[in-house]
Chains A and B, each alone.
Chain A
């Protein structure tokens, strides 16, 4: 069974940093592109970032570019999101999402999310 379990969320002050993790199991993690998607509670979905299966390519939303870094450790089956210079606009539930291993992007499995709250 595919499982994606996010952790690392919490309350952080504006300007602060936080690192999210996503532990993957039930599939061959190293074959899949992985994504982060966020959602302000009660609002819509916002794609944040993605990383290639081997970690050599990354892409970011304009809203986080230069502040967030996506990375992965395929030996540990873990995806990361290092977030810095946080503002209240980064307050959201952050989902770890798997992409189908072949063909066009297909966000086929989602974790349950970890909540990040940026507030003084």
Chain B
């Protein structure tokens, strides 16, 4: 199975900050990497698919990059509603696997 490792596990930042979360796969996954946002008590929401494609309705301050085994999610200017937990997920091969999550908290 492909293992997905996110870093950091938690992050404190302020409104307006630029934030980067990384995700590393245990083998190449080409561009088959998605990012999700989850707020407490809510279902996850798709942010980005195939590494860099923004899902419908997602603000442009979110962006993704990478290929092979190393990927990043960047939030260019944090807004109050962005404080949440973020997960990466590979869809290169089943079983699909998620990263352990990065909790983004207000500083």
Contact = CB atoms under 8 A, between A and B. Distances in A.
Same complex for A and B? Answer yes
Interface of A: 35, 37, 44-47, 50, 59-62, 95, 100, 103-108, 110-113
B98 A45 contact: yes
Contact of A113 (B43, B95, B100): B43
A117 B59 CA distance: 36
B97 A104 contact: no
What does DSSP make chain B's interface, helix, strand, loop or mixed? loop
A19 B99 CA distance: 27
A44 B96 contact: no
B87 interface: yes
Contacts of A46: 98
Given A44-B98, A100-B49, 14 more contacts: A45-B98, A45-B101, A47-B95, A47-B97, A47-B98, A50-B94, A50-B96, A59-B94, A62-B95, A105-B49, A106-B34, A106-B49, A108-B55, A110-B45
